[in-house]
Amino acid sequence: VEVNKAMCDFTGLNRAELKGKKCYEVIHGTDKPIPGCPVAEAKRTGTSTTSEILQGNNHFAVSASPVSDKNGNITGFTHIVKDITDKKIAEQTLKVERDRAQQYLKIAEVMMLALDTEGQVVMINKKGCNILGYEEQEIIGKNWFDLCIPPETTREVKIVFDNLIHGNYDPVEYYENEILTKYQERRTIAFHNSVILNEADEITGILASGDDITD
């Protein structure tokens, strides 16, 4: 019953040509709603609904909301379509990069460790788990200093960590310290440290690569 300019641009039809047409006829070239049609779902449930639909090579976020009269009777639906193709491509590219990074972490021959600003472990690679003797799920979310640093050196290592978190990382970019394994064995690790920044260039944690130099 009504469309905006974006809909006209998308279909290549003007308002007069679009009015009175079924949306699925115009958009999908079908004679009935496609599976997952949000308008059909909104009609069935009487509530707003949103879904993602693939049309050719394009991805769309499609929502539908009932329109009611003063007596609460549904008289129609608003239908909003947003092209999210670029977003989906970016997400897929990011996933590929993340998967590649995870593969690099798995095969790296040094410990790779990420801590948040509170010292909680947010990432550790396979080599790090092997050195420490823990499974990944036993480390993630734990406080690094409580779990893996000998008590008598905790204060010293926390000072190094605080320097990093406050941006003073030049003096402690390279630092050697002992760690405790799951079996209370002491190993000396040579760490190379860097900070993790968010989009606002705020420090959100540290990333450390550690080489076991005990022997």
What does the pLDDT read at residue 213?
94
What does the pLDDT read at residue 210?
93
Q: For all residues of the chain together, what is the average pLDDT?
A: 89
- Is the model's pLDDT at 172 over the cut of 90? no
**Per-residue pLDDT tens for 50-64?**
888 887 788 888 899
**Per-residue pLDDT tens for 96-128?**
888 787 776 776 788 999 999 999 999 999 999
DSSP alpha helices (H): ranges in the chain? 5-11, 15-18, 23-27, 38-45, 85-107, 126-132, 136-139, 144-148, 154-165
CA distance 104 to 110: 11
Which of 16-20, 122-126, 166-170, 181-185 shows the lowest mean pLDDT across its residues? Answer: 166-170
Amino acid residing at 19: K
Which of 38-47, 126-135, 147-156, 175-184 shows the lowest mean pLDDT across its residues? Answer: 38-47
Q: Answer yes or no: are the C-beta atoms of 94 and 87 closer than 8 Å.
A: no
Q: Quick one: pLDDT band at residue 192, thresholds 50, 70, 90?
A: very high
**Per-residue pLDDT tens for 1-31?**
999 998 898 888 999 999 998 888 888 888 8
